[in-house]
Structure 1
Amino acid sequence: MEIRDVPEKWPVLASEEKFRGHVISIRTDTVKMVDGKVAERDYVVHPGAVGVVALDEADRVLLVRQYRHPVGWRLWELPAGLLDHPGENPLEAAKRELYEETHQQADDWRVLVDLFTTPGGSDEAIRVYLARGVREADGEQYAREHEEADMAAVWADRAEVTRLILAGELHNPLTVAGVLALTTAISTNALDDLRPADAPWRQRPFLP
């Protein structure tokens, strides 16, 4: 059997939106199971997001520190953000987030890894890019607010960040997935094999 994730949608007999917020909504689907039985499944509907592993010539990655209210922690994270508009170009969204959160821009972009963050309870899909040739952005710095108002940004040694992830000191899923994927790509000499920045994204198709 081939080891590859494939899309598959079981019959939905009914679907009801139970809650709608600023970013997410919650739905209950009545689903026909593979054994013929029927069951209800509650899940979060999410617009999707992008993250950026910015890598410099000194083998450092760019991290930001942000308060996350649901878990009550400040987390070290990759620059990242929501796909704010239906059909938004994910690469352009990633460039925007790198600029807004760190005032940086990059010359070379590749797709590093795609993931579902919590596939048992949400349809949230995330694409993480690798950005190289990073430099200070043109123009004025973006005015941040809310959780981002006091956001710190640091360049951190990639090997040390990898060690901290494996030691259980870093918890953001984009950071964990992105940095470990980058470390794997470097250790296996696979950086040149990474997908181009405009590679198809089946989980969140971009419709221009």
Structure 2
Amino acid sequence: MDLKETQLSSEPIFQGTFVTIARDAVRLPNGNEGTRIVIRHPGAACVLAVTDKDEIVLVRQWRYACDQALLELPAGKLDVDGEDPAECALRELAEETHYNAERVKLLHTFYTAPGFCDELMYLYQAEGVKEGSILENDEDEFTETVLLTRDEVKAALKNNEIQDAKTLIGLQYWLLNS
């Protein structure tokens, strides 16, 4: 069965600093027409960083849309068209935490909310993680660095204390593959 929906037209509803919301007319697989509201996003990178003491480096930050502080992997959007997601991951780790990494290795890519958004997330494993970053968050970003052991991560997962999808994906990878 052909499941493809073909774009017939696209009308921008909102153009922000890094996302655009569009109303698209589409041709459905059965030949009918439909409407899709789509958020166009430049993409993002997140990083799974583990210290020499086998602690995962997380950040706690306020997420306005959720009206709560969430515990997450360090992450951020690609700042410019064509930015290397690996460089983004290294930068976000250094800006949001007290840690740097020598390099990162791509583990997986995934869509964060494919029902309405085209954001592609790049999940990286940091290598050569060391404390000592002197970079700072963006002016409108406030984070607290949190280190958790494997047992603490398992307890946090069991108690539903981690609700962010990219973090759930990254932590499951860490727990199952290392």
1:116 lines up with 2:124 in the alignment: no
CA offset digits 1:102-141 (Å, max 9, x no partner): 1321234221221111000100110111113211246x34
1:104 lines up with 2:99 in the alignment: yes
Runs (4+) of structure 1 exceeding 3 A deviation are none
2:66 maps to which of 42, 64, 71 = 71
Give the Å deviation of 1:152.
Answer: 1.2
* TM-score of the pair, normalised by structure 1: 0.78
* TM-score of the pair, normalised by structure 2: 0.90
Contact 2:45 2:85 in 1 (8 A): yes
Over aligned residue pairs, what C-alpha RMSD do you find?
1.8
Q: How many residues align?
A: 176
Any stretches of 5+ residues in structure 2 without a counterpart?
none
Aligned to 1:145: 139
Aligned to 1:173: 165
SS at match of 2:42: coil
Distance 2:73 2:20 in 1: 25
Q: Spell out the pairing of 1:46-85 with structure 2 (5 A cutoff).
A: 46-85=41-80
CA offset digits 1:165-201 (Å, max 9, x no partner): 2432211111111111222222xxxxxxxxxxxxxxx
1:163 lines up with 2:158 in the alignment: no
Contact 1:162 1:180 in 2 (8 A): no
Distance 2:169 2:137 in 1: 28
CA pair 81-59 structure 1, distance change in 2 beyond 3 A: same
Contact 2:26 2:35 in 1 (8 A): yes
Contact 2:14 2:22 in 1 (8 A): yes
SS at match of 1:147: coil
Contact 1:158 1:179 in 2 (8 A): no
Moved more, 8-17 or 117-126: 8-17
Distance 2:62 2:102 in 1: 29
Distance 1:63 1:93 in 2: 16
Aligned to 1:26: 21
